[in-house]
Structure 1
Amino acid sequence: MTDHGEEEARARLRERQGSGARYDSPAAPARDLLWARRGTAYFARKLNELPDSALDAPSRVPGWSRRHVVAHVGYHARSLARLAEAARNGMAEEVLAEPENQIEDVEFGATLPAHALRYLFQHSEVHLNVEWRDLNETGWKASVRALNGELVPVARTPWLRAREIWLRALDLDNKGSPADFPPDFADALRTDGLAI
């Protein structure tokens, strides 16, 4: 399909979806978003293959069960969503709206019932995607100071998520393999200095 044909197909899809549908800004890092979203689908598949009882088994991370990995992935998405939300609202720093209710400790998260742990992953992934889709060009160009003091370019958040979600899918220790990674993403990981 030509670029012109793809544009026509997108226009028809948007027409069918209507005015309430959300789309990424043209300023968004499309390739990195694609990797993050595909990685999320891959992680979800590997997680959904596991029965609740298997979440107690060890992961590939020393000292962590699979529960820890799922909690970490959920909290990571929440943090990135807050960065995107801050940028969308023109704020220079990540904030916790209700800090006393935002217990994002992996050890605590690992104690959640299995259904709550799965919900944490699902909800945080949806929230992050909504924040990315609501960012305009100005938001994508912003940098936000994270709670840990690091200044994070918002345009880098999809790469940070892609990297984390694909590697953590392997950490679930559920027959995930780097051979499942998109080849261009695997190349980008190596360029970023990560061995897979």
Structure 2
Amino acid sequence: MNRTMSWIAEGTALSRSALVDLDGQSLLPGWTRKHVAAHLALNAEALGNLVHWARTGEERPMYASPEQRNADIDAGALRPADELLDWFDESARSLTDAMATLTDGQWQARVRTAQGREVPATAIPWMRSREVMIHAVDLGTGVTFAELPTDFLEELCADIRAKRGDVPDVRGPLPQVAAYLAGRAYESVTTADGSPAQPLPPWL
């Protein structure tokens, strides 16, 4: 748990450093960097809902609906850049503070992800670390998978393989394999027989 919390701090700092020129295009099709910033802020608030659920037992879903989530991201992307940065900072800080209040027993409470999976609250820090790490790259302002911690990338690859299910057995440098499995741009990734790996659809 402590290491996952440190990944959140590292990823938040990386994302914050990459939140520049917010009107520019991100690496995610159809999204500016403002969309990514709004998504990250909303994600922190949504995971805060799960922390509340774990702490109080009051069911509080991450989002009202997928449609509302998308509408909120689009609306958030219309905010001025300084408001978005303040929102990113405050939402990240609030989530960290909320997680710090959970007891050992509350961390074991069952909550539900936006995809409908029932998980223990201990999954919340990992869910947040994925968001801030991967989207730091997606902002497209210089952060690459090679700059993410090695142990995070190893955990990410294992997580994606488990959740994607049937994915090719690929070889290559760990950052590039992680990028490939996440459906992002990659280089030097081949299948076991040495042929070029075929792209996967985006994940997360």
1:175 maps to 2:142: yes
Give 5+ residue unaligned stretches, structure 2. 64-68, 162-177, 180-204
Q: Deviations over 1:136-169 (max 9, x none)?
A: 0111001123566443421001111111111100
Q: Deviations over 1:67-109 (max 9, x none)?
A: 000000000010001111221113244388xxxxx99711001
Are the counterparts in 1 of residues 46 and 62 from structure 2 also a CA contact under 8 Å?
A: no
Within 5 A, what are the aligned runs for 1:30-45? 30-45=2-17
Distance in 2, matches of 1:68 and 1:192, equals 25
Are the counterparts in 2 of residues 93 and 147 from structure 1 also a CA contact under 8 Å?
A: no
Distance in 2, matches of 1:93 and 1:79, equals 9
Query: 1:118 is matched with which residue: 61, 82, 85?
Result: 85
Are the counterparts in 2 of residues 75 and 104 from structure 1 also a CA contact under 8 Å?
A: no
Question: What number of residue pairs does the alignment pair up?
Answer: 158
Within 5 A, what are the aligned runs for 1:18-57? 29-47=1-19, 50=20, 54-57=21-24
Where does residue 15 of structure 1 map in the other structure?
A: none
Distance in 2, matches of 1:118 and 1:163, equals 20
Give 5+ residue unaligned stretches, structure 1. 1-28, 97-101
Identity, % of aligned pairs? 35
Structure 1 runs, 4 residues or longer, greater than 3 Å off: 92-96, 145-150
Report the CA distance shift for 1:66/1:95 in structure 2 as closer, same or farther (over 3 A): closer
Distance in 2, matches of 1:66 and 1:42, equals 14
Are the counterparts in 2 of residues 91 and 144 from structure 1 also a CA contact under 8 Å?
A: no
Where does residue 35 of structure 2 map in the other structure?
A: 68
Question: Relative contact order (C-alpha < 8 Å, sep 6+): which is higher?
Answer: 1
